């Protein structure tokens, strides 16, 4: 009887190897790769994807690297024709046809964010062309919360990546402020 209970307990522990990613990890990963189901990733995959999301690489490079981590496990949501049609309101159909599913999922998240159409068009085009998207209005407000006198008009792609890494880091407010000041200096 003890052996059965021991085997049952051991099986339960081994079978429930799911990783409870922190909210900061989920947010950082889904900011770069919105269609990724982080709850289905292993500890190692989450750690690697989180490190990539916080790296200084461009958003496109980050998204591609994270997609490579989960490739084959079918964690990226499939994209419906309705999503393609939604994206075509902002970019030409030939560009939509050239987009990866991960890019389409990211574009869908931007479109559904409720931003102004001109801002949506700019951010979706940045996904298509591979440029780092400008900070969203919400991201700018978050930066201004920590650094009220921040100048956000002439940020390079690297600056945008560093700012995003800081605000999505899950660090303490003091650390976020320090990282933002460093990124904006």
Q: Which residues of the chain have pLDDT under 70?
A: 1-20, 72-78, 130-133
The pLDDT score that the predictor gives to residue 133 is 59
The pLDDT score that the predictor gives to residue 5 is 44
State the SS3 of the chain. Answer: CHHHHHHHHHHHHHHCCCCCCCHHHHHHHHHHCCCCCHHHCCHHHHHHHHHHHCCCCCHHHHHHHHHHHHCCCCCCCCCCHHHHHHHHCCCCHHHHHHCCHHHHHHHHHHHCCCCCHHHHHHHHHHHHHCCCCCCCHHHHHHHHHHCCCCCCCCCCHHHHHHHHHHHCCCCCHHHHHHHHHHHHC
> What is the distance between the alpha carbons of residues 105 and 58, in angstroms, rounded to a whole number?
18
> What is the distance between the alpha carbons of residues 147 and 9, in angstroms, rounded to a whole number?
51
The pLDDT score that the predictor gives to residue 75 is 46
For residue 143, what are its two tokens? 């930066």
The pLDDT score that the predictor gives to residue 74 is 43
> What is the distance between the alpha carbons of residues 161 and 164, in angstroms, rounded to a whole number?
5
> What is the distance between the alpha carbons of residues 31 and 166, in angstroms, rounded to a whole number?
13
Distances (CA, A) of 106 to 8, 29, 71, 78, 94: 42, 12, 17, 12, 18
123-145 in b/e form (b: 16+ CB < 10 A) is bbebbbeebbbbbbeebeebbee
For residue 173, what are its two tokens? 């407010």
The pLDDT score that the predictor gives to residue 11 is 46
- Give the N- to C-terminal CA distance of the chain in Å, as an integer: 67
């Amino acid at each position: 009887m003890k052996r059965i209970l021991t085997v049952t307990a051991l099986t339960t522990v081994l079978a429930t190897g799911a990783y409870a990613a922190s909210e900061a990890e989920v947010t950082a990963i889904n900011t770069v790769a919105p269609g990724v189901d982080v709850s289905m990733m292993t500890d190692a995959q989450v750690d690697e994807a989180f490190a990539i999301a916080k790296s200084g690489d461009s958003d496109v490079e980050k998204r591609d690297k994270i997609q490579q981590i989960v490739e084959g496990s079918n964690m990226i949501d499939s994209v419906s024709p309705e999503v393609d049609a939604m994206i075509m309101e902002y970019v030409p159909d030939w560009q939509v046809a050239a987009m990866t599913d991960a890019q389409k999922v990211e574009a869908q998240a931007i479109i559904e964010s409720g931003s102004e159409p001109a801002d949506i068009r700019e951010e979706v085009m940045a996904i298509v062309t591979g440029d780092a998207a400008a900070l969203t209005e919400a991201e700018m407000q978050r930066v201004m919360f920590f650094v009220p006198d921040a100048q956000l008009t002439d940020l390079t792609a690297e600056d945008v990546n560093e700012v995003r890494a800081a605000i999505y880091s899950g660090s303490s407010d003091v650390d976020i402020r320090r990282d933002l000041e460093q990124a904006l200096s």
